[in-house]
Amino acid sequence: MLKSKTFVKKTRSGGVLKIVREHYLRDDIWCGSEVCTECKQETTVLQRDACIESNLCSYPHYLIPDTNVVLHQIDVLEDPVIRNVIILQTVLQEVRHRSAPVYKRLKDVIHEKEKHFYTFTNEHHRETFIEREPGESANDRNDRAIRVATKWYSQHLKTSESDADGLKVVLLTNDQGNKQKAEESGLLVYKCEEYIKSLIANPELVDRLALSDDDKNEITSSKVLFPEHLPLSKIQAGIKSGSFLQGTFRASRDNYLEATVFVQGEGEDSTEVLIQGLQNLNRSVHQDVVAVQLLPRDQWVAPSSVVLQDEGAAKDENAEEEEEEKELRISAAEAARKPTGKVVGIIKRSWRPFCGMLNVSQIKESTRHLFTPADRRIPRIRIETRQASTLAGQRIMVAIDGWPKHSRYPNGHFVRSLGGAGEKDTEEEVLLLEHDVPHQAFSQAVLSFLPKMPWSITPEDMLKREDLRHLTVCSVDPPGCTDIDDALHCRELDNGNLEVGVHIADVSHFIRPGNALDKEAASRGTTVYLCGKRIDMVPELLSSNLCSLRSNVERMAFSCIWEMNHEAEILKTHFTKSVINSKASLTYAEAQMRIDDTTKNDDITKSLRGLNKLAKILKRKRIEKGALTLSSLEVRFHIDSETHDPIDLQTKELMETNSMVEEFMLLANISVAQKIYEEFPDCAMLRKHPAPPPSNYDILLKAAKSKAIDIHTDSAKALADSLDVAKVDGFPYFNTLLRILATRCMMQAVYFCSGMDSDFHHYGLASPIYTHFTSPIRRYADIIVHRLLAVAIGADSTYPDLMDKHKQSALSNNLNYRHKMAQYAQRASVAFHTQLFFKSRGILNEDGFVLFVRKNAIIVLIPKFGLEGTVFFDSKDKAAPNLVFDEEGPTLKVEQHTFSIFDKVKVTISLDDSNIQHQKIRMALIDPVIPGVSVAAPDVEPQAKKPKLDR
């Protein structure tokens, strides 16, 4: 049956267009229930014995949730207890319009067979479709459609089942009006929470209920703590007129009463507005999009250098906070004042489920508890739970429901438990969730696009590729590496020149644009390497097998081949898709030994020597152009093969071969960048590294000045040259420290689309153009670059998104975000393993250097472990020493001793696990000896328990 709607629409040019929408109604849409005898369905989803034990519904029943129940209570619907649910098309469409994340979660639940969720296409069913009546709002029409479908189901199932106590259909809604109308038409209808609370023996489900508006008011005191948020209409008017600014709220890690709002201006300009004090922060949560109003100039303040953590118990009494807020104001110096404002409204909340731990309430019977997130920038959240005793000591996830103006903390609900705090697997899971690293197993849809095994290169594949299997190609990687992206070769040509090839895994051959595998890789953006674990961007079949350029197997590659003279000048560049057969997979150390062993003269070793010689010349030229050699301490853990705990910790040593591989990777990246930009000036995916603003170097200049050394920072070359000559007699480590500090001054390198930007320069490499081509197994940007290069040389066909600069730009933003998060996750993993290492070590004494000086602390670097820690001078439990902080130096005078940057100190290192959620490496000063401040060195260092050898 055909329904059609006709309406007219005015076009831009003033013409009138008649639009006819056709809507087909059908008789063959089945109900999906096993009970039914009428519908001619082959498979059914809804079970015959749909029994959930409930005090309200003692009979078997199916649930029909309305849109709001799905949107707000998705955590409940995902629980395995909730089965046999009918999702109406009306609800599915509305959810899709209102929340993409919830829609995705709902679709996943519908696909789970054991959940028995059935989608019923009520909008196309002849008996359940309804027209919108004159004067009826879209919302009311949808509510009515849900009631009509519920009624149809209850009658349909009644006729098909002869038993009187047969199946019933229960509508779940939290909308009072909808509930009333449903009751009037004789439907079974309950509020979501009365139904959930009626379920027998499922207390954790009640904890998962998101709070409804009526509950939110009960929890809070009547005293208004925060200003009212303005409605969106006023905010938009204010932003238009310029009286408000829109920006992203960024909470401070160190000080819970302070935040900045990052306001993106025209083009490259952006400003930061400082927000201080609870009232002005006005219930904003990290990463929310907010509207701020600037305060009058005389109320502007400076960012404080005090470290304040929200340690208090559930404090709704404000005495202590007022003290802390006062402390903030005192610390502001005139000159350092920044534009300061207050939050007047929230434009978009960016709430996600947060990981953390429960602070169990002191009141024995209480069901209300505070939850402390692992991320210090997120406020504590108040939740209701009856299982506090079981959750204490576990890492849990909690979602925020709302933050009323008379509540000191936001209200939320329990989502799930992750496991015991401090356990390795739990902490790893928290780390991945907190850094938003996608780490679930690859779905069937993604895996379905992998090649079928056994796989081999076919004659058709060979037609479009150069056969380079005869070349002496080898790969050089860290030990234990299975995702080998790159391989190299070097040989002498008949004309006396050298041929050098960089061969990169041809991942884009296997990952085709737009399919599920491609979308998943684009979303993940990068492989994340944690200590002892790798979260792959592409499934293992590709990353460790078919794309990995392992030795003695045929593999597809994308090759970049140069003809060079012996001065490493490029005479010709040639790109081609190829097939290679690597003759050896070496580690950096193995390659180094081959190069150094004069008795060896086989092809692989000759190739390596040639590469090494050229790499040294390339590096020298690069440094002459002004490329920076900066230093950051990377740590290697030696992991026990049985327990997987770290047993030794040392900083990584770099060899000549590390540098050799790096030089050719850089050269290939630059060659490819030039080629794709030449071909596609508007949509090339490039990578740039902006020069830091001069103020970034303040700390470096002050630090060098303290040792009477001048550093020039007008260009990368000037900086590199002055770092090379910066030496202090009797202090060999000084230069490394200076380079570590210089690294901290740098900006982040980012991907961008060439058509959307004009500044391409890469500051650190001193190259006018750069991209990433050499690691497509572990970085999605390289896959895009491969596709661009393949189109440029006619080896593959293009597709619309590749040539769309806006799409490319949006993709770059996601890749930049994922890369940043992966870096943070890697650091957090190193920190966690460092803590595990010190846990078994007791207290250690080590030499260190002061890296930074703060108002109440010094930050110390321990070179042996590549570890940083803070020595605080104002502990809560003893009288604070006399502290004088001089910002100019910067120096900190503690009693009679003055600390400045690079001072050598001796500290004790131990693990402070008094707060299980934020375990810290504690450092205390041994030397210099300051009475009342430093501690005595522990005499005997407790040795780690030697593991028993059960062989």
Distances (CA, A) of 757 to 470, 683, 761, 806: 43, 10, 11, 12
Peptide bond into 65 cis (omega under 30): no
User: What's the pLDDT score for residue 891?
Assistant: 83
Q: Residue-wise over 433-445: b if at least 16 C-beta within 10 A, else e?
A: bbbebebeebeee
Q: Is the pLDDT of residue 17 over 60?
A: yes
Report d(CA 765, CA 622) in Å as an integer.
8
Q: 852 with 903: CB under 8 angstroms?
A: no
Judging by DSSP bridges, how do beta strands 646-651 and 685-688 pair with one another?
unpaired
Q: Which band of pLDDT confidence, cut at 50, 70 and 90, is reported for residue 779?
A: very high
The distance of Cα 132 from the centroid of its chain, to the nearest Å, equals: 44
Residue 215: phi, psi to the nearest 5? -70, -35
User: Exposure of 419 by Cβ count < 10 A (0-12 exposed, 13-18 middle, 19+ buried)?
Assistant: middle
Q: Is the pLDDT of residue 502 over 90?
A: yes
3-state secondary structure 784-838: HHHHHHHHHCCCCCCCHHHHCHHHHHHHHHHHHHHHHHHHHHHHHHHHHHHHHHH
The residue type of 130 is: I
Of 347-351, 628-632, 801-805, least confident by mean pLDDT is 628-632
User: What's the pLDDT score for residue 315?
Assistant: 46
List 689's β-bridge partners, or say none.
Answer: 762
User: What's the pLDDT score for residue 615?
Assistant: 92
Helices of type H across 32-88: 67-72, 74-77
Q: Which band of pLDDT confidence, cut at 50, 70 and 90, is reported for residue 268?
A: low
The residue type of 428 is: E
Report d(CA 420, CA 397) in Å as an integer.
12
Place of tokens 């650190």: 764
Q: Residue-wise over 836-873: b if at least 16 C-beta within 10 A, else e?
A: bbbbebbbbebebbbbbbbbbbbbbbbbebbbbbbbeb
Q: Is the pLDDT of residue 21 over 80?
A: no
User: What's the pLDDT score for residue 916?
Assistant: 65
Report the SS3 class of residue 443. Answer: coil
Q: Is 173 left (phi over 0), alpha (psi -120 to 50) or beta?
A: beta
User: What's the pLDDT score for residue 945?
Assistant: 40
Q: Is the pLDDT of residue 175 over 70?
A: yes
Q: What is the DSSP letter of 544?
A: I
Token couple for 551: 């030795």
Report d(CA 606, CA 619) in Å as an integer.
20
Report d(CA 801, CA 506) in Å as an integer.
20
The residues near 359 (Cβ < 8 Å, ≥ 6 apart) are 313, 314, 369, 370, 371, 372, 380
Q: 633 with 863: CB under 8 angstroms?
A: yes
User: What's the pLDDT score for residue 651?
Assistant: 62
Of 366-375, 552-561, 572-581, least confident by mean pLDDT is 366-375
DSSP 227-242: PPPPPHHHHHHHHHHT
The residues near 297 (Cβ < 8 Å, ≥ 6 apart) are none
The most confident of the ranges 149-153, 162-166, 860-864 is 149-153
Q: pLDDT tens digit string along 270-329?
A: 688 888 888 888 889 988 899 998 888 888 877 766 656 665 544 444 555 555 555 555
Nearest to 789 by CA among 507, 551, 532, 549: 507
Average pLDDT over every residue of 459-464: 86
Report d(CA 885, CA 301) in Å as an integer.
19
Peptide bond into 339 cis (omega under 30): no
Inter-axis angle of helices 716-725 and 734-745, nearest 10:
160
Determine the length of the chain: 951
Beta strands in 11-112 (DSSP E): 16-24, 61-65, 85-88
Report d(CA 167, CA 182) in Å as an integer.
18
Report d(CA 150, CA 377) in Å as an integer.
45
Nearest to 256 by CA among 234, 239, 235, 281: 281
Inter-axis angle of helices 780-792 and 516-524, nearest 10:
120
Q: Which band of pLDDT confidence, cut at 50, 70 and 90, is reported for residue 64?
A: very high
DSSP 564-621: E-TT--EEEEEEEEEEEEBSEEEEHHHHHHHHH-TT--SHHHHHHHHHHHHHHHHHHH
Average pLDDT over every residue of 582-609: 88
Token couple for 311: 């340690």
Distances (CA, A) of 431 to 3, 91, 426, 441, 849: 53, 35, 9, 17, 29
Q: Which band of pLDDT confidence, cut at 50, 70 and 90, is reported for residue 947?
A: very low
Q: Is the pLDDT of residue 162 over 80?
A: no
Report d(CA 25, CA 16) in Å as an integer.
29
Q: What is the DSSP letter of 542?
A: I
Q: pLDDT tens digit string along 206-243?
A: 777 776 655 544 444 456 778 888 888 888 888 888 88
Distances (CA, A) of 428 to 299, 780, 838: 44, 24, 18
Report d(CA 860, CA 862) in Å as an integer.
7
Q: Which band of pLDDT confidence, cut at 50, 70 and 90, is reported for residue 951?
A: very low
Of 299-313, 446-460, 667-681, 802-816, least confident by mean pLDDT is 299-313
Q: Is the pLDDT of residue 521 over 90?
A: yes
Nearest to 839 by CA among 937, 925, 907, 916: 916
Residue 871: phi, psi to the nearest 5? -105, 110
List 686's β-bridge partners, or say none.
Answer: 752
Average pLDDT over every residue of 473-489: 88
Average pLDDT over every residue of 447-462: 87
Q: pLDDT tens digit string along 708-727?
A: 788 888 888 888 888 888 88
Nearest to 786 by CA among 577, 566, 536, 552: 577
- Work out the number of other CB atoms within 10 angstroms of the CB of residue 167: 25
Judging by DSSP bridges, how do beta strands 394-402 and 570-581 pair with one another?
unpaired
Nearest to 345 by CA among 249, 465, 223: 249
* pLDDT top residue among 811 and 201: 811
Q: What is the chain's Cα-based Rg?
A: 32
The mean of the pLDDT values for the chain is 82
DSSP 60-76: -EEEEE-HHHHHH-HHH
Average pLDDT over every residue of 393-402: 87
Q: Is the pLDDT of residue 248 over 60?
A: yes
Judging by DSSP bridges, how do beta strands 635-639 and 554-564 pair with one another?
unpaired
* pLDDT top residue among 950 and 159: 159
Q: pLDDT tens digit string along 647-675?
A: 566 566 667 788 888 899 999 999 999 99
Of 27-41, 76-90, 488-502, least confident by mean pLDDT is 27-41
* pLDDT top residue among 158 and 280: 280
Q: Which band of pLDDT confidence, cut at 50, 70 and 90, is reported for residue 599?
A: confident
Peptide bond into 454 cis (omega under 30): yes
User: What's the pLDDT score for residue 219?
Assistant: 45
Token couple for 421: 């705090």
The distance of Cα 593 from the centroid of its chain, to the nearest Å, equals: 39
